[in-house]
Amino acid sequence: MSNEEFDNLKEELMWEGSSVVMLSPDEQRFLEASMAYVSGNPIMTDEEYDKLKMKLKRDGSNIVVEGPRCSLRSRKVYSDLSVDYLKMFLLNVPAAVVALGLFFFLDDLTGFEITYLLEVRLYWSLFHC
């Protein structure tokens, strides 16, 4: 592949949003070492690989993030993923809006009887213990 073809391919991948094009040298080494190990031709020792992996984890690289995995010996599940609370919140907002909208719609249809029942029970529980 010529330099011009490589540059065109790299630019095209960048426009498509590929993260592989933007890897740091350590991330590239890690990926090469992983692929070489899987193919049966390791290019670094296990100790070097572990050090590189820990360095990338400390730097916050997404290359070393693994999904959940199970240990058959200890029968435990391990994961180094983290919870994204913003996404969880954004996923729950539409359901909450629909539920509240349905509640207020039904409350309006019944002539605000649902709200009245809630107010009476709250009043009763607060002042008649």
Contact assessment for residue 65 and residue 82, using Cβ atoms and an 8 Å cutoff: no
- Per-domain residue ranges of the chain: 3-78, 85-127
Between 5-19, 63-77, 78-92, 99-113, the lowest mean confidence (pLDDT) is in: 5-19
Three-state secondary structure call for residue 71: strand
Contact assessment for residue 33 and residue 43, using Cβ atoms and an 8 Å cutoff: yes
Grade residue 52 by pLDDT with cuts at 50, 70 and 90.
Answer: very high
User: In this predicted model, what pLDDT tens digit does every residue of 5-15 receive, in sequence order?
Assistant: 877 877 787 77
Angstrom distance (rounded) from CA 64 to CA 61: 6
- Count of all residues that appear for the chain in the document: 129
User: In this predicted model, what pLDDT tens digit does every residue of 103-119 receive, in sequence order?
Assistant: 888 888 888 777 777 66
Task: For residue 70, give the DSSP letter.
Answer: E
